[in-house]
Each structure stands twice: as structure tokens, then as C-alpha cells.
Amino acid sequence: MTDKTGKYIVGIYPGTFDPITKGHLHLIKRASKLVDHLIIAVADSNKKGPLFSIEERVAMVEADVSTMYERYCDIEVRSFNNLLVHFARDLNASCIIRGLRATSDFEFEFQLTGMNARLDPNIETVFLMASDKWQFVSSSFVKEIFSLGGDVAEVVTPAVEARLKAKYGRP
């Protein structure tokens, strides 16, 4: 797949992925239809106080992506700790793919997109609406539910659930 000019399209799907969910994987599958090469960019951001280290999060994303049976382009996983638009520019990405679950996501994403456009007007932002099956899923909810003894098996892969159990010391 190339754009109208014949250019190879690189897209970036950024997030903290703390942890990665089935909702993220669904968006990754859909995003892989839009680009030739998709980079899952795991943010090394301590601002959000992640439960998992950057190395653990990258490993979880790599493991889950490697088992995806439906993907339509090459997918790689990388961590980053600089401005997203700088990361995108360094990798010759022409678009940033963001997922939207609700109107509250839109307000934040709208502001972020405006700022990113000022920083680099050559990088487009593409929004993908979460499917109704995954609209309610967030990494924050997963961590909270699991930490309080709830079952998250329907919204994360078995590998991620195993990592949560190990992190919380559960059998």
C-alpha cells in the first residue's frame, strides 16, 4: 500500500500500554490496514506512574502482536521517551493513529492533535473509533479491577493476565 504519490506509508500507534488490552489489539489490527508499516510506540512516561516497566510493557506488546493472526502490514514495537512528533519524524512516519472510546477522549485528543500539527504539520493524525465491544476497556480500569480481585480475562490476553498475576503476587 502506498499513497497517491507512491510513497511507502509508515504509521505510529502510540500509548503507554500499561498493560496492553484486547481493545488495543483490535485497533492495531485495524490500523495495519491503513499503512505499509505500523510502529507500536510504547511511551516511556513516568508521568502516568506505570505499573509495568518500559521493558515489561514492550515485551507484553511484542508478545501479543506476535500472536495476532490478522495483520495487514509489517508491525514493529519500539519504546520512545521524546516528543511523539519528533519520534514520528525520526522514523519517517506520515501519520499518528489514535483510538477514541468516548467524547471525553475526543477533547484530549483534539488538543493533542492541534499541538502536534503545530510542531510538525507534515504528520497527520488519524482517529479510529473503538468498536462497541471495546469502548469501555482501558488499561487503568484493567489494573484497578485486577488489583481489587476482579476478573479481566475477557479484556486482556492470557500472557498479560499472567504478568498481572505475577505483579500482584497471585497464583
Catalytic-labelled residue, pool 22, 139, 143, 163 = 139
Cα separation, 17 vs 52, in Å, equals: 9
Catalytic residue among 22, 24, 30, 163: 24
Our answer to whether residue 101 is catalytic in this structure is: yes
Cβ atoms within 10 Å, residue 23: 22
Is 48 an annotated catalytic residue? yes
- The yes-or-no answer on residue 167 being catalytic is no
Exposure pattern of 153-171 as b/e (b: 16+ CB <10 Å)? eebbbebbbebbeeeeeee
Say which of 29, 71, 101, 167 is annotated catalytic. 101
What CA–CA distance (Å, rounded) separates 65 from 20? Answer: 10
Q: Considering 7, 48, 165, 170, which one is annotated as catalytic?
A: 48
139 is catalytic: yes
- What is d(CA 29, CA 56) in angstroms, rounded to the nearest whole number? 22
Query: Which residue numbers are catalytic?
Result: 24, 48, 101, 139
